[in-house]
């Protein structure tokens, strides 16, 4: 009898970003990163290895993917097969409760869930650290989605030393994010291609690695002190430095839209008026606002002048991965 394993993983948003790989094969980043796992956005994935299958069958949001679109997932399943000794193809059913490829970290939750469900269905019983290492091979940021709360990914220098661990979970203080979902469409250049271009061509890249490593130390202290102002300022500056790298690449590129700049200005205006809120952005146009829960109403009221209610999604600190067998 074939065992079906289902895993649920939540997305995470980096507060100190990684932007650039030093080993694309092993997905080793140029610098470490720190993130917050969110409760609202997640991926649920079921995996069954079946000796009746002639090839992997990948269903994404109820649609059977053609082989070309399923290639990245099948390659990750090949890694699981290689490590587990499993010889059969797999049936994978996955559903994203995250806008895909829009800078809301859908690949992070997606590959974290696939790593957990796939490895368990193949007969592997990995601890969370090993699961974090495995998820990293699918998507770098997936290494952090194994865990809940505030998470740090250690850059490392090889497969064994590059993994994530919890900094704080549960999160027992008033911090959350409001996602301003501006454009749930495919981005103009993938994160993989964008960061490779930056590493190869930006004259400012060495300074990025140096300042990002400094930001890691400062962010750890801010989280430990439950200091929203320090956390927000570090995250905001770090994000804008990352996007400045994109503008300094050859050729230059960026993920901003006019609405991105509108949301950034709204946050800046709110803070000038005494509201404790900060913005961060990943590789996409969407803005994430770091704030306290008690300021939600005033922030949403200010944003309502520019955006529809359904574009403003409140997300609180979320849990680590869950795995069930059927």
Q: Where are the domains of the chain?
A: 4-172+319-325, 176-315
Task: Tell me the CA end-to-end span of the chain in Å, nearest whole number.
Answer: 11
Mean pLDDT of the 254-269 span? 96
Structure tokens at 161: 């030393």
Q: Which CATH architecture has domain 4-172+319-325?
A: 2-Layer Sandwich (3.30)
pLDDT at 106: 85
What does 79-99 look like in DSSP terms, one character per residue? HHHHHH---SEEEEEEEEES-
Instruction: Give pTM, 2 decimals.
Output: 0.96
What does 251-305 look like in DSSP terms, one character per residue? S------HHHHHHHHHHHHHHHTT--EEEE--SSS-EEEEE-GGGHHHHHHHHTT
Please say if the pLDDT value at position 18 is more than 70: yes
pLDDT at 291: 98
Mean pLDDT of the 150-169 span? 98
Least confident of 60-64, 122-126, 244-248: 60-64
**326 band by pLDDT with thresholds 50, 70 and 90:** confident
Residue 82 neighbours by CB distance under 10 Å = 9
Report the distance separating Cα 165 and Cα 82, nearest Å: 25
Q: Which three-class secondary structure state does DSSP give residue 115?
A: helix
Share of the chain above pLDDT 70, in %: 96
Please say if the pLDDT value at position 101 is more than 60: no
Fold of 176-315: Alpha-Beta Plaits (3.30.70)
């Amino acid at each position: 009898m074939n065992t079906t394993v289902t895993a649920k993983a939540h997305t995470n948003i980096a507060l100190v970003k990684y932007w650039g790989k030093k080993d694309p094969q092993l997905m080793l980043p140029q610098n470490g990163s720190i993130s917050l796992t969110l409760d609202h956005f997640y991926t649920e994935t079921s995996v069954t290895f079946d000796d009746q299958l002639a090839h992997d069958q990948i269903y994404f949001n109820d649609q059977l993917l053609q082989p070309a679109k399923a290639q990245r997932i099948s390659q990750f399943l090949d890694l699981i097969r290689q490590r587990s000794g499993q010889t059969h193809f797999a049936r994978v059913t996955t559903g994203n409760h995250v806008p895909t490829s829009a800078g809301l970290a859908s690949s992070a939750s997606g590959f974290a869930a696939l790593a957990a469900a796939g490895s368990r269905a193949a007969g592997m019983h990995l601890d969370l650290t090993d699961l974090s290492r495995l998820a990293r091979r699918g998507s770098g940021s997936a290494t952090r989605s194994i865990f809940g709360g505030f998470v740090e990914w250690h850059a490392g220098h090889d497969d064994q030393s590059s993994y994530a661990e919890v900094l704080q979970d549960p999160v027992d203080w008033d911090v959350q994010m409001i996602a301003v979902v501006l454009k749930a469409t495919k981005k103009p250049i993938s994160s993989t291609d964008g960061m490779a271009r930056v590493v190869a061509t930006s004259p400012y890249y060495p300074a990025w690695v140096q300042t990002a490593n400094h930001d890691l130390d400062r962010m750890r202290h801010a989280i430990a002190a439950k200091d929203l102002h320090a956390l927000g300022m570090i995250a905001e500056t770090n994000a804008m430095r990352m996007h400045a790298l994109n503008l300094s690449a050859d050729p230059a590129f960026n993920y901003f839209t006019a609405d991105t700049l509108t949301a950034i200005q709204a946050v800046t205006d709110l803070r000038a008026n005494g509201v404790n809120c900060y913005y961060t952005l990943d590789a996409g146009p969407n803005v994430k606002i770091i704030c306290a829960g008690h300021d939600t109403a005033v922030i949403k009221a200010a944003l309502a002048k520019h955006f529809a209610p359904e574009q403003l999604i409140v997300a609180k600190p979320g849990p680590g991965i869950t795995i069930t067998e059927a």
